[in-house]
Structure 1
Amino acid sequence: MTATATTVDEPDQLESQAAPASRAAGLARRLVPAAAATLSGVLLYVSFPPRTVSWLALPAFAVFAWVLRGRTWKASLGLGYLFGLGFLLPLLVWTGVEVGSGPWLALVAVEAVYIALVGAGITLVSRLPGWPLWAAAVWIAGEAARARAPFGGFPWGKIAFGQADGVFLPLAAVGGTPALGFGVVLCGFGLYEIVRLVVEGRRTRVVRRGAAVAALLSIVVPVAGALAARTLVSDKAEDGTATVAVIQGNVPRAGLEFNAQRRAVLDYHARETERLAAEVKAGKVAQPDFVLWPENSSDIDPFANADARMVIDTAAKAIGAPVSVGGVVERDGKLYNEQILWDPVEGAVDTYDKRQVQPFGEYLPMRSLLGAINKNWTTMVRQDFSRGTKAGVFTMDGAKVGLATCYEAAFDWAVRSTVTDGAQMISVPSNNATFDRSEMTYQQLAMSRVRAVEHSRTVTVPVTSGVSAVIMPDGKITHKTGMFVADSLVQKVPLRSSQTPATKLGILPEMALVLVAVGGLGWAVATTVRGRRDTGR
């Protein structure tokens, strides 16, 4: 009887032991993909500046592909969101330096939604033949949407902007940031597919040649295309050269408080310009043909304030060259973030008003709604900046200098329009002082390097507090300053007028990739619906 009792109880005992093991295995099945999605997002962040390991984007997307393939689209929404958080939370932490963690977390929460939707889309197209092509196009379609909405879009974090030091950079000259980003993502997904097929082949002893060829091409084509595109990258002067001076005057201290010391900032930039003039007079430095000051170098309106006008005029006369001054100007009751071309003889002769103004930084969307919720929120931006309507190209000592002010460098159209309007070089005047020593400065500098290659133009980056730089048309930095120091850079740079395919094609490569994404998603949905109908589900 004892033996019989033991026999009856054994299944119950084994079942009770198996239940916790089964629950643990189920938990692991859920946690491992979630952890992998988050960590691959972090890996993508690590591939961005100021680090110079852009190649890490490839394994980041390879792991992301492993996480998504075989999932339901609903599960992929969550996994895509985790990937977005892993990537964007550390990438955009600088947005909280200015106003606290609330806006930073809110921005990331919204932007990660786009990546969640992309994750679901990638899962859908991953069942198609040659899926890396469709999946990479879906990623670029997500970037295109993120760059346009809400509030005019937020392109920060485009894959292209992490590739200033990478082998794929010349693709920017072929089709702009969409082509560059597409090549990187396609290669990452192709890398995963090759590994998957190798593992599958070892297990089944069967090699699917079509899939293997498609995976191999996903890696070979972007790399070969980038190498071939190097012929489009040239530092050769086509319209002569210009000796340019970039002024970094520095600010009294970092943080929001520096805006209360607007006169000090103006004086600092005038003083550095006059110091440079003394070096020129002593024969230590070449005489510049023109001088570039940063954004907000004169937050005091020189058209309304005689003292500010006199300070700028004195500095321009000392250096004996036209100066592009970043000012805050009120005109007809409207506020503008303006670049002013200041001639040493005639004074102000031309202006450019920033066209892509920053939401929550230069204007406050939904002001009445936010004020109704919390009146203190409206004090972040007391008066909205108005938008300019025309591309900025200053003629400075015969050279055509295109202007893309700070935030505008992230937008494809804003930079391209200066080149199509005749710019022979580009300047990106910026003010990063409110972001202290965060990675923001280096991320923005990398954008300017990509723009240099995209349009085959010299790009100068005058910044109030650094890092200011001179960038050649091949994307290489030849001179740069430190952070929070007063300094100036003087260099002879090539002027160019030819247009790259990216400049000529404009938005067309991005539109083509969006259409590829839509076509792939349509095919995937139709295939899924047909399959369910055939099985009667």
Structure 2
Amino acid sequence: MLVRTDANGTRALRWYASVIAAVAGGLLLDAATPGLSWWPLAFPAVALVCAAVWQQRARWGFLVGALAGAAFWMPHIGWLTLYLGPIPWAALCALMILWFGLFGVAAAVATRGLRRIAILRRSAAALAGAQAASVAGLWMLREQLQGAIPYGGFAWGRLATTQADGPLLQSVSWLGFAGLSALLAFASVVPVAVALVARDRGTSVRPVLVGVAASLAVLVALAALPAAPLEQSGALRVAAVQGNSKSGIFDDREAGGVIRDHFTATEELLDRLEAEGRTVDVIVWPENSAEFAAPDQLIRSQRLAKLAERAGAPIVVGTVLANEDGTYSNSSLVWNSEGPTDARYDKRYPVPFAEYMPNRPFFRAIVPDLVDLVQLEYAPGTRPSALEVDTSAGVIRAGIAICFDIIFDPQAVAMASDGAQVIFAQTNNADFGRTDESAQQLAIARTRAVEMGRAVVNDSTVGTSAVVAPDGRSLDELQPFTRDAMVAEVPLVEGLTPALRFGGAIASVGVLVGVLGLAGGVFGLVRARRVSRHG
């Protein structure tokens, strides 16, 4: 038998079954994301992970939760080893696995303890519903915490992103990343909750079928939701350049090689447009494409201005700028025919251990060779997240997300609040080679486009580059590791989707449900222990 019953009548998977379920669930969750993108696997993945910890004791919940986390995270971010080696990968995996382990403890305590509350024990439906809602809320809480703690967090590998290529994608414009993750988790665990409650009561298989039908009804309702409508105020013909540069941290390249590749790709683009009698309103270059201190490099700055003049369109470039306090900014600037303008955005979420070194003395004592590789200290930006760009289509406001900026929910809110009508997501994926990293990042950008109701120009130095419509469709896409450019007409959009207006509140409600479920579980276990002590 796969299920055991303890002295209190609590049913849970046997140790070997829970281990198998945890590992299988973690692996399936990775398969649901790019590169495989087998999105339907997200549902059995969550069901298996949660079944592994359901009504287990706290310590075992932590262990099998951590096993699920290891099975997911270790292959999912294997791309981190490509240039930086195993130590940063192992460190980040350990942190992410810890969050999964803590989720396992919380879910085990909540599901086990809620079963001891008398008012819930009177109704199988109430007990199953309370357990499922609590675990879904705790799943969301884990995602929220890992995306904030420590050092700003790592909001990667979220359940909502698995649906970037699936029929549920449009619902993220109503629910946001956190809300969609919670509902997907809820639909996945309802059958688990109903199945174990049914076995608890010794009833037939019918309640299990009811639970599966309820989950399917939730998913069908989500699939039926159209994207939230927003007002279109115009259109913009945008070009984005992929220079296919040697732009990784340890690439063997000469100074000026990256910007030269993007000059060449832009000139080839303009040759093609002129031959076809077409024009564009704005040109986007990727992160770091103009290398260091672009405004101070006179020849490069003049060449950019001449390209903008030839194109009849401004060029939004990525460059690294020195600050007066000795720190640096990973920035986006706008060039027109007269040179650099005053428009500037500085990356708000520099990457710890890559773009800056937190607690440098401490970590240097542990791994000095790796710590010393991080020589520049990038400061988090404080400027508005949308740039004003004067184009032939009029003055537009472009939201800017540099590299991992795109994964953070507060950045999406900031871009929309600052009036962004379109999103330029400039990135440099060269450090990750031909791994799944760039495809995973594009899936996040695609989900973000639908959540915000705005087109996203995901432009990389090496790929994967794509222009994504507000409904998630690819309007143009480039082959990775080729020098090329893409051109598409995108809508300019005003207003806020329900996800942007109410996403924070939805997340708060989901977290509250999870916390209340955990508190109820603790209460139920403590009360049951007291009753047992007093006979």
Q: What is the TM-score of this pair, normalised by structure 1?
A: 0.89
Question: Are positions 1:81 and 2:77 aligned together?
Answer: no
**Larger gyration radius, structure 1 or structure 2:** 1
Amino acid at match of 1:287: T
**2:188 — aligned with what?**
188
**2:265 — aligned with what?**
272
**1:229 — aligned with what?**
225
- Give the Å deviation of 1:98: 2.0
- Give the Å deviation of 1:33: 2.2
Amino acid at match of 1:348: T
Q: How does 1:152-301 map to 2 (within 5 A)?
A: 152-196=152-196, 204-205=203-204, 216-224=213-221, 226-232=222-228, 238-252=232-246, 255-258=248-251, 260-283=253-276, 286-301=278-293
Residue 186 of structure 1 contacts residue 219 of structure 1 at CA under 8 Å; is this kept in 2?
no
Q: How does 1:125-524 map to 2 (within 5 A)?
A: 125-127=110-112, 128=114, 129=127, 130=129, 131-196=131-196, 204-205=203-204, 216-224=213-221, 226-232=222-228, 238-252=232-246, 255-258=248-251, 260-283=253-276, 286-332=278-324, 333-396=326-389, 397=391, 398-524=395-521
**1:39 — aligned with what?**
24
Could you tell me how far apart the structure 2 residues matched to 1:522 and 1:405 are? 39
Residue 245 of structure 1 contacts residue 489 of structure 1 at CA under 8 Å; is this kept in 2?
yes
Amino acid at match of 1:69: W
- Give the Å deviation of 1:426: 0.7
Unaligned stretches of 5+ residues in structure 1: 1-27
Could you tell me how far apart the structure 2 residues matched to 1:526 and 1:413 are? 34
Could you tell me how far apart the structure 2 residues matched to 1:218 and 1:205 are? 19
Unaligned stretches of 5+ residues in structure 2: 1-12, 115-126
Residue 40 of structure 1 contacts residue 63 of structure 1 at CA under 8 Å; is this kept in 2?
yes
Could you tell me how far apart the structure 2 residues matched to 1:386 and 1:231 are? 36
Q: What is the TM-score of this pair, normalised by structure 2?
A: 0.89
- Give the Å deviation of 1:168: 2.4
Deviates more, 1:79-88 or 1:503-512: 503-512
Residue 238 of structure 2 contacts residue 283 of structure 2 at CA under 8 Å; is this kept in 1?
yes
**1:16 — aligned with what?**
none
Could you tell me how far apart the structure 2 residues matched to 1:199 and 1:369 are? 52
Residue 198 of structure 2 contacts residue 205 of structure 2 at CA under 8 Å; is this kept in 1?
no
- Give the Å deviation of 1:280: 2.0
Change (3 A) 1:520 1:200: closer
Change (3 A) 1:389 1:441: same
Deviates more, 1:405-414 or 1:259-268: 259-268
Deviates more, 1:330-339 or 1:484-493: 330-339
Deviates more, 1:349-358 or 1:385-394: 385-394
**Over residues 194-223 of structure 1, what are the superposed CA-to-partner deviations in whole Å (9 max), with x where a residue is unaligned?**
55567778x644866xx9767654442343
**Over residues 281-336 of structure 1, what are the superposed CA-to-partner deviations in whole Å (9 max), with x where a residue is unaligned?**
2225x211001100010113122222332332232222221010000111313311
Could you tell me how far apart the structure 2 residues matched to 1:325 and 1:216 are? 51
Residue 247 of structure 1 contacts residue 487 of structure 1 at CA under 8 Å; is this kept in 2?
yes
Q: Does the residue aligned with 1:359 lie in a helix, a strand or coil?
A: coil
Number of residue pairs the alignment of both structures matches: 502
Amino acid at match of 1:87: F
Superposition RMSD in Å: 2.2
Change (3 A) 1:259 1:424: farther
Amino acid at match of 2:413: R
Change (3 A) 1:326 1:163: same
- Give the Å deviation of 1:87: 0.4
Amino acid at match of 1:186: F
Q: How does 1:521-536 map to 2 (within 5 A)?
A: 521-536=518-533
Could you tell me how far apart the structure 2 residues matched to 1:342 and 1:295 are? 15
**Over residues 370-426 of structure 1, what are the superposed CA-to-partner deviations in whole Å (9 max), with x where a residue is unaligned?**
223443233221021111112321222222111011111110011221111111111
Deviates more, 1:266-275 or 1:438-447: 266-275
Could you tell me how far apart the structure 1 residues matched to 2:20 and 2:397 are? 51
Q: Does the residue aligned with 1:280 lie in a helix, a strand or coil?
A: helix
Greater strand share, structure number: 2
Question: Are positions 1:116 and 2:120 aligned together?
Answer: no
Could you tell me how far apart the structure 2 residues matched to 1:381 and 1:260 are? 18
**Over residues 449-495 of structure 1, what are the superposed CA-to-partner deviations in whole Å (9 max), with x where a residue is unaligned?**
11111011011111000111000001111211011111111111111
Could you tell me how far apart the structure 2 residues matched to 1:257 and 1:142 are? 34
Could you tell me how far apart the structure 2 residues matched to 1:533 and 1:276 are? 75
- Give the Å deviation of 1:146: 0.6
Deviates more, 1:306-315 or 1:479-488: 306-315
**Over residues 494-522 of structure 1, what are the superposed CA-to-partner deviations in whole Å (9 max), with x where a residue is unaligned?**
11103111111242211111111111111
Deviates more, 1:274-283 or 1:53-62: 274-283
